[in-house]
Every structure is written in structure tokens, then in C-alpha cells.
């Protein structure tokens, strides 16, 4: 049995930017609680990861260096929620 090469399917890896590279929509840059499905079907939970979420296409962007650090390169993000949602909402309304 062979797994697909790392990098064949996973979340987009790019430096965190102000705008979504796909649709140019503004990214929500904050910290996220995330779940990753690894190639061996195990789940990895990572909390308070800094990242950017596109409001439009719901793509999560995480710094590639951080992905490497957490050894998530082969994983696929299956779940992400803003860990400081309340703070973020206050920031938007200001």
C-alpha cells in the first residue's frame, strides 16, 4: 500500500496575506482551533494556530513554516474554528 505523496492534497500553503489568493476576498487573520486528518486516518488537533480564513471560499491559509513545524504537511484540514471569535467580532464592529 502506498500513500499519495505529501503535497498532493492538503490545505493551501502560502504566506498569510491580507487577501485570499483565489478570490481576492479579505482574509480573517486570527487564531484557529483546527483538526487535521492524517494519511493513516488518525486525527490531529491543533489549537490556537495563527492563520487566515477566506470568508468567501472558506479556505484556510496557514504559514507553511508552521505546517512543517507541526508536521502537518501530509494532513488535511477537516475542521477549523476561530479560537478568539468574540474578540474578532468586536474588532470588526469597531
- Least distance in angstroms from the C-beta of 36 to Zn ion: 20
Tell me the three state secondary structure of residue 59: coil
The count of residues interacting with Zn ion (CB under 5 A) is 7
- Least distance in angstroms from the C-beta of 5 to Zn ion: 26
Q: Which of 6, 22, 81, 85 binds Zn ion (CB under 5 A)?
A: 22
Q: Which of 3, 17, 19, 25 binds Zn ion (CB under 5 A)?
A: 25
**Residue 1 and residue 17: Cα distance in Å, rounded?**
38
Can residue 23 be called a binding residue for Zn ion (CB under 5 A)? Answer: yes
Can residue 57 be called a binding residue for Zn ion (CB under 5 A)? Answer: yes
Tell me the three state secondary structure of residue 58: coil
The phi and psi torsions of 11 (rounded to 5 degrees) equal -65, 155
Tell me the three state secondary structure of residue 64: helix
Amino acid at each position: 500500500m502506498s500513500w499519495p505523496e505529501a503535497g498532493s492534497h492538503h490545505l493551501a500553503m502560502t504566506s498569510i496575506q491580507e487577501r485570499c489568493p483565489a478570490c481576492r476576498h479579505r482574509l480573517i487573520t486570527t487564531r484557529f482551533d483546527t483538526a487535521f486528518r492524517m494519511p493513516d486516518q488518525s486525527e490531529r488537533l491543533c489549537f490556537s494556530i495563527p492563520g487566515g480564513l477566506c470568508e468567501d471560499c472558506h479556505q484556510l491559509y496557514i504559514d507553511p513554516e508552521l505546517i512543517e513545524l507541526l508536521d502537518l504537511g501530509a494532513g488535511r484540514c477537516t475542521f477549523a474554528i476561530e479560537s478568539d471569535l468574540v474578540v474578532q467580532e468586536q474588532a470588526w464592529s469597531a
